[in-house]
Amino acid sequence: MAKRDEYLERLRAFESDSAKRSRSREEQAAESNLLRKVKEADDQIKRHLEAAAAEEQAMRVTSPLQTMGTTRPGRKGDSRMNATPGELMARSLEMSRGITTTGTNKAFSPEEMARTFVDLLAPQSVVMESGVQRVQTGAETYAFPVIRSDFSAGFVGELDDLPTGGFGADPLKVTPKKIAAADLIANELLDDGGAAFLNPMAKSLMRSVALGFDREALIGTGAGKGFIGIANTPGIQTHAVKGGLKDLDPFVTAFGKLEAANAKATAIVMSPKAWTALMALRESSGSLKPLLSESAGSPTAGVQRSILGVPVWLSSFVPESDILTYEADQVFAVWRKDAGFQISDQFGFLKDGTAVRAIARAAIAVPNAAAVCKITVTA
């Protein structure tokens, strides 16, 4: 790219210098030589991009992101996935450089790029993988209706006045907050690394954004520039356990509290240490069989990551003393439609580098706070 730009600059200077006079044979030959070099550079870029596209196509066949969440219980693959992180970044790089070729031009509108970005990010986010509802908006603030009281219903006779009143609702306004990761990448890597480099780099950027979102979505307090997470949402249910986890009774109690609020436990999120403590529990004193083992056979059999049929997700952001249980359908992840990769060579021009950043704006909302129960375990 740098050589091509140099040739174009020399062509422009040459044309400006000889615009008002006839060119000599030497000048015509020099011009032809520059045009030939520009064409060679264009051909090289085209071959590079087409090779990168072929590599990305091969990666899509075996990419673990194609089976979103298959390593976690209760989720099936998502057939909507039609791009890899590397391909999305390559497209963003092409757009920033104004390059369009038949081999690499993908019909990604800005909204499609944002949706694909979140699709690819979701498997790396515990909260998204747990099955929460996803809402995409172009607005700065999104409002959910919070039902305070239900309609009044009753039996009536024919032609009698129908019962009215009783219904009450307030708006819950949610403002997605910016989550970003960025760095300066050497142009040699971007130009010569191909998809083999772009894909892991894109995944790393997405992972950083996903982890940033998870941290706030799970335990955010709303302080600073973040948002309030599930564990600190006002009005959620709680259950205190003293003396540590000795059995599964705390989960039975928490599930019962959710059922009493017309909710159903569909997800459990805890720390890896809390899960390790549960794995160490035995069916009875002196037994080798784990309490969480489904089979009645050997204790070496695998343990499904679930409790009483409810899938369990692990996150290091959740304190060891806290365990979240909730109905995922009643938790909403709000994402702005401008999520994606952004690339610029302006910042790193003097260093022959390209600035790459991943930006998303998101927040979590729990309109029905009673659909969440936080178990707090103390010694």
The encoded tokens of residue 258 equal: 């959710």
The predicted structure's pLDDT at residue 65: 31
The encoded tokens of residue 207 equal: 């992972």
Using DSSP's 3-state secondary structure scheme, residue 267 falls into strand
**Extents of the domains making up the chain:** 1-8+31-154+163-291+305-379
Distance, CA of 68 to CA of 91 (rounded, Å): 22
Distance, CA of 119 to CA of 85 (rounded, Å): 10
Distance, CA of 309 to CA of 278 (rounded, Å): 15
The predicted structure's pLDDT at residue 266: 97
The predicted structure's pLDDT at residue 307: 92
Distance, CA of 30 to CA of 124 (rounded, Å): 54
Measure Cα distances from 360 to 80, 82, 117, 128, 290 in Å: 20, 20, 9, 14, 42
Task: Answer whether 175's CB lies under 8 Å from 141's CB.
Answer: yes
Does residue 137 come out as left (phi exceeding 0), alpha (psi in the -120 to 50 range) or beta?
Answer: beta
**pLDDT 10s digit of each residue in the chain, 379 long?**
556 667 667 767 767 776 666 777 777 787 788 778 877 777 776 666 565 555 445 444 333 333 333 233 344 444 344 566 666 666 666 665 554 444 434 444 555 555 666 666 677 889 999 999 999 888 889 888 777 788 888 999 998 999 888 888 888 899 999 998 888 877 777 666 665 667 777 788 888 888 899 999 999 999 889 999 999 999 999 999 999 989 999 999 999 999 999 999 999 999 999 999 998 888 777 776 777 766 444 555 566 789 999 999 999 999 999 999 999 999 999 998 767 777 776 665 667 787 888 888 999 999 999 999 999 999 8
The encoded tokens of residue 256 equal: 């019962």
The predicted structure's pLDDT at residue 72: 36
Distance, CA of 199 to CA of 62 (rounded, Å): 13
- Classify 1-8+31-154+163-291+305-379 by CATH class: alpha beta
Measure Cα distances from 22 to 26, 30, 36 in Å: 12, 14, 21
DSSP string over 112-142:
HHHHHHHHHHGGG-HHHHTT-EEEEESSSSE
The predicted structure's pLDDT at residue 74: 41
The predicted structure's pLDDT at residue 320: 94
Q: Vertex 210, ends 209 and 215: CA angle to 5°? A: 100
Task: Of 80, 114, 81, 110, give the one whose Cα is nearest residue 336.
Answer: 114
Distance, CA of 293 to CA of 103 (rounded, Å): 51
Distance, CA of 203 to CA of 227 (rounded, Å): 24
